[in-house]
Structure 1
Amino acid sequence: MKHNRLRRTTGLAMAAALFAAAPFLSAQAQQQHAHVHGQLKLDVAVDGPTVVIDMESPLDNIVGFERAPKTDAEKKAVEDAVAVLRAADKLFVVDPAANCKLGPVDLRSGALGLGNPDPAEPVGHADLDATFSFNCTNASAAKFIDVNLFGALKGLRQIDSQIASAQGQFKRQLKRPAGAQASQPVRLSWGK
């Protein structure tokens, strides 16, 4: 995923945070297409009145395959997955202190014909990239997001996340909880 997708956010604080993270982001950009099944990446930017979540996942995590759907069952799986992703306020519950409402959802996948996908996406190893924007009355008050992806994506085992906020930059890793807990939200937290 290209980190310039955070362009929807503005402000000097975010620019300073991203410049400070440049060495880390550059190393990640070099590995942008080395995806691993069962893992996805989330980049969270808290800036001004918005919380923006960029997600990059192997398509297999989302629909169970990495190509255009062929059968009616595969087409139905894609339709269901797109509906789940568009209801992002169920997947990502931002700290209530921030008072956020879901804004635009941008889904991109060449294999699924969604949005403007990355033209460098390798054939046969398709990804789904998404940007979820939340409009908030007090975004800077956000200290966590309850993530419901493990319950929604049965093959997901791990989430690697980077967070840029006024409190600083953070790197977090979330693992699928065991047993019945797997359907419960997992808290992605930052700050003090």
Structure 2
Amino acid sequence: MNFQRAFSGLALASLLAAAPWATMAQTQQRAHVHGQVKLDVAIDGPAIVIAMESPLENFVGFEHAPKTDAEKKTAEAAVAQLRAADQLFKIDPAANCKLGPIALQSTALGLGKTEAGTGAAEGHADLDGTFAFNCTNAAAAKFIDIGLFTAFKGMRQIDAQIVSREGQFKRTLKRPNSRLAWGK
């Protein structure tokens, strides 16, 4: 678990440090927009790390701790889908990646350690995650097919930042486009 946090933290830190737009984003309060997901993708050495920020609503249709049996089942199903991240994030086969450590955080769902201000403030709960993939040739990756639109009907837009050896890229995906591509 400590390796997972250290690995995910280092990869995400390098992504944010390298991204020129990150400074502006860090100084502003996190936006909470239903239907919208933010992804930060770092391709570094043998790893590809995807950090995701999203309103809980996008995954389960509500923004509070599950109260009914139906809400509990919906939340459990969403978490199970996210834990099978290799089905949601299909990385370019040229990179030859296997799913590694996953960390999910949601105050409303009781997942992971969450920082103050990232939980259910003013009724706005989030579900964030970090998904690490171990690859034999991460630099060869030129795209990720993202299955979030198919798996979670509440999502309408994905805003992504990608940092790779080839540079830094910003992309926006809207239904039905699900291929996040980068490079020159």
Q: Do they superpose with TM above 0.5?
A: yes
Question: Among 82, 85, 91, which residue is 1:85 paired with?
Answer: 82
Aligned to 2:9: 7
Aligned to 1:159: 158
How far apart are the structure 1 equivalents of 2:26 and 2:116? 15
Structure 1 residues 123-138: aligned runs within 5 Å: 123-138=122-137
The question of 1:173 aligning with 2:165 is answered no
DSSP-derived class of the 1:34 partner: coil
DSSP-derived class of the 1:66 partner: coil
Pick closer, same or farther for the CA change 1:151–1:169 going to 2, 3 Å. same
TM-superposed deviation, 1:73: 0.3
Task: Answer whether contact 2:105 2:127 (CA < 8 A) is retained.
Answer: yes
How far apart are the structure 2 equivalents of 1:75 and 1:49? 37
How far apart are the structure 2 equivalents of 1:64 and 1:31? 26
TM-superposed deviation, 1:60: 0.2
How far apart are the structure 1 equivalents of 2:51 and 2:113? 14
Structure 1 residues 52-131: aligned runs within 5 Å: 52-121=49-118, 122-131=121-130
Equivalent pairs, count = 177
Aligned to 2:3: none
TM-superposed deviation, 1:47: 0.2
Aligned to 1:41: 38
How far apart are the structure 2 equivalents of 1:189 and 1:167? 12
Which shifted more, 24-33 or 149-158? 24-33
- The share of aligned pairs that are identical, in percent, is 64
How far apart are the structure 2 equivalents of 1:32 and 1:136? 34
Task: Answer whether contact 2:35 2:154 (CA < 8 A) is retained.
Answer: yes
Task: Answer whether contact 1:110 1:118 (CA < 8 A) is retained.
Answer: no
User: What CA deviation, in whole Å up to 9, does each residue of 1:115-144 have, x standing for no partner?
Assistant: 011221224101011000000000011111
Amino acid at match of 1:161: A
Task: Answer whether contact 2:19 2:163 (CA < 8 A) is retained.
Answer: no
Gaps of 5+ in 2: 1-5
The question of 1:188 aligning with 2:177 is answered no
Task: Answer whether contact 1:109 1:117 (CA < 8 A) is retained.
Answer: yes
Misfit runs of 4+, over 4 Å: none
Task: Answer whether contact 1:117 1:129 (CA < 8 A) is retained.
Answer: no
Gaps of 5+ in 1: 178-184
Task: Answer whether contact 1:40 1:158 (CA < 8 A) is retained.
Answer: yes
How far apart are the structure 2 equivalents of 1:146 and 1:87? 14
Scaled by the length of structure 1, what TM-score is found? Answer: 0.86
